[in-house]
Amino acid sequence: MPYFVRELAQRQRVTILVYHKPSPETADCHFEALRRRYNFVSLADYLAYRTNAHKHLPPKPLIVTFDDGHQGNYALKQILEKHGIRATSFLCSGLVGTNRHFWFETEMSNSVRQGLKRVTDEERIKVLSRLGFDESAEQRTRQALSASEIEDMKPVVDFQSHTVYHPLLPQCSEPRAFDEISRSKMQLEDEFGLSINALAYPNGDYSAREIAAAEKCGYQCALTLDWGFNSKETPAFQLRRICINDDAGLNELIVKASGVWGFLKNLIRGGSARRWLSIPRAESDCRSPQCRGVS
């Protein structure tokens, strides 16, 4: 089934995968398997293709992305070079280059962690404070990439924005959500010399408000965790990605990358095939806690 999907549905559409912190060994195996089935392109290639009638992409184009900017991603540099991949890494500007920690790495049960994705940002911060977490506090160790690591990876990685501290944007007040989107772009450009034109919504959560803010701040596109493929017609601020578990086996990788996994889950939940084929949707269809279950 994945073979027929690749040859029929994915051949002329752009597939975007997202990882977080896979081991070098897993990444090497995954990228080797993907290279035999797809053609790696960069996010910049896809954006140029969307706006330039003379720009063409190879069949079955695939983009590799990483969210958060975890320290362990630095070990993937040689793997990316080996497979000729120009990946995109979405950085939390308030964490990279510091010893600040990711809020979701705080010691807590998974049920609490998932519950914090469903409450207001103010309540999330209060609960984390009771657990001893402060998003602006410097710790003894770091969890995110350092400034020197980012500089060293620039030849093989396109760094973009994942907000400042990774809050769930629709759960934030309007001023905080706008600040997270705007300040991250400015910090990454001013402090790391990056050219920022893409935003990845933390946890994939967004609404019409976040789309408008990203456009106003000068981003060219934004990436979600809505499943499916992309074409020239996919809304630029609702680009679809397929999430791959960092420890996924090769069979799981192949099935998930083909979209079959998400397609079947969508059918079970009563969805349709139109999203899988990247047919533009109505604004009310936005991926937000008010529109769908939080992952």
Give yes or no for residue 8 having a pLDDT over 90: no
Q: Is the pLDDT of residue 119 over 60?
A: yes
- Across the chain, how many H-helices and E-strands are there? 11, 8
Say whether pLDDT at 294 is over 60: no
The sign one gets for the Cα dihedral 196, 198, 199, 200 is negative
Residue range 181-197: mean pLDDT, rounded = 98
Longest dimension (CA), the chain: 56
How many angstroms separate the Cα of 56 from the Cα of each of 12, 21, 241, 265, 286?
A: 10, 31, 21, 32, 29
Round the average pLDDT of the chain to a whole number and report it: 91
What is the CATH topology of the domain spanning 2-285? TIM Barrel (3.20.20)
User: What is the reported pLDDT for 263?
Assistant: 73
Query: Can you read off the two tokens belonging to residue 155?
Result: 């030849």
Tell me the per-residue pLDDT of 26-55, one tens digit each, with 9 for 90 and over: 999 999 999 999 999 999 999 999 999 889
Q: Do 95 and 143 touch, CB atoms closer than 8 A?
A: yes
Residue 90 pLDDT class (50, 70, 90 cuts): very high
291 pLDDT more than 80: no
pTM for the model stands at 0.90
Residue with the two structure tokens 């499916």: 228
Residue 231 binned pLDDT confidence (cut-offs 50, 70, 90): very high
